[in-house]
Amino acid sequence: MQKTAIITGASRGIGRAIALELAQQGIYVILIARNSQELTELQTQVEQKGGKADFYALDIAQANEVKSTVEQILDKHSQIDYLINNAGVGSFQEFETFEEAELDRIMNVNIKGTFLLTKELVLHMKSRKQGHIVTIASDVSKRTFPNGSVYCASKYAQDALMSALRKEVRSFGIKVSTIYPGLVDTHFNGNQPGEPDNKNWLKPEDIAQSVSYVLSAPAHVVVDELMIHPLEQDY
Ligand code: NAP
């Protein structure tokens, strides 16, 4: 039976590269983000290359949207093999200038969104006694830096969420892997990909390859954590 993967934050950047990589391997990709136009374009691109894709435009921080979307997905697909938690946002500024609304925005997507979708899929995976959840956290899930307080806190929390879940679900045959990238040249936080200064940063495709590696581990192996940096990044 064809494998299926839900990928959040699939409209651009790392999530888009993961979707293209997995589709190319014959996995049916289910794309999630808010921007339906970018998702339509990606679905077309996947299908033009002979792959299969559906998309659902939603805000992963909205519990009702997540619940009804997962219901629709499970009505169509009897099985979801992989959940790739990739959607995320961040911004960087001095601690005392951070507004409450900005803290809420970052925590809502990075923590609440990751939690909501994972919760729905854990239920499904437990019933099947198999599944693999991969989360794109960050190297700042393990270190901090000035002006990164809220983003680092969200990524530390995302890491802890997944680390505890790993221990909880392994007896159900469910794998939980976390990938910690350093600098990746995407649209993250208003970055413009392709600038000469960033030419040695990781490419979204580098992270897609990491996901592919993690998913291809033999049945008895789980890659718990995978840290990946540009060679030139000083961290
Ligand atoms: P990006 O180009 O800005 O992409 C972020 C993705 O998340 C977009 O597809 C966006 O789609 C989606 N998204 C944001 N808010 C959402 C929401 N409320 N509901 C659903 N989807 C939402 O950034 P990226 O670099 O690819 O980031 C992907 C992940 O990698 C993030 O978790 C980020 O923290 C992590 N990361 C990035 C770097 C880096 O240097 N770029 C390094 C380490 C880790 P819509 O706007 O269409 O919703």
* Band of residue 191 on the pLDDT scale cut at 50, 70, 90: very high
Mean per-residue pLDDT over the chain, rounded: 98
Cα-to-centroid distance, 186 and ligand 1 (Å)? 9
Q: List strands edge to edge, sheet with 225-228.
A: 53-57, 28-33, 4-8, 82-85, 131-136, 174-181, 225-228
DSSP string of 74-124, one letter each residue: HHH-S---EEEE---------GGG--HHHHHHHHIIIIIIHHHHHHHHHHH
Cα-to-centroid distance, 140 and ligand 1 (Å)? 15
CA distance 86 to 204: 12
Residue 16 CA, closest ligand 1 atom number:
9
Residue 139 CA, closest ligand 1 atom number:
43
pLDDT recorded at residue 149: 98
% of the chain residues with pLDDT over 90? 100
Instruction: Establish whether residue 156 lines the binding site of ligand 1, counting it when its CB lies within 6 angstroms of any ligand atom.
Output: no
Residue 9 DSSP code: S
- How many Cα atoms within 13 Å fall on the side-chain side of residue 74? 16
Residue 147 DSSP code: T
Instruction: With residue 186 as reference, give the H or E element that holds it.
Output: none
Does residue 233 contact residue 182 with C-beta atoms inside 8 Å?
yes
User: Number of helices (H) and strands (E), helices first, in the chain?
Assistant: 7, 7
User: How do residues 27-80 score in pLDDT, each as one tens digit?
Assistant: 999 999 999 999 999 999 999 999 999 999 999 999 999 999 999 999 999 999
Which position has the token pair 């393990």?
142
Going by their DSSP bridges, the two strands 131-136 and 53-57 should be labelled as: unpaired
Does residue 107 contact residue 36 with C-beta atoms inside 8 Å?
no
∠ CA 6-228-168, nearest 5°, is 50
* Band of residue 85 on the pLDDT scale cut at 50, 70, 90: very high
User: How do residues 90-111 score in pLDDT, each as one tens digit?
Assistant: 999 999 999 999 999 999 999 9
Residues 28, 33, 38, 44, Cα dihedral to 10°: 10
pTM: 0.98
* Band of residue 113 on the pLDDT scale cut at 50, 70, 90: very high
Domains and CATH numbers, the chain: 69-228 (3.40.50.720)
- How many Cα atoms within 13 Å fall on the side-chain side of residue 98? 20
Instruction: Establish whether residue 14 lines the binding site of ligand 1, counting it when its CB lies within 6 angstroms of any ligand atom.
Output: yes
Residues 143, 147, 150, 153, Cα dihedral to 10°: 10
Instruction: For helices 114-128 and 63-76, give the axis angle rounded to 10 degrees.
Output: 30
SS3 226: strand
User: How do residues 156-172 score in pLDDT, each as one tens digit?
Assistant: 999 999 999 999 999 99
| Nearest residue by C-alpha to atom 41 in ligand 1 | 184
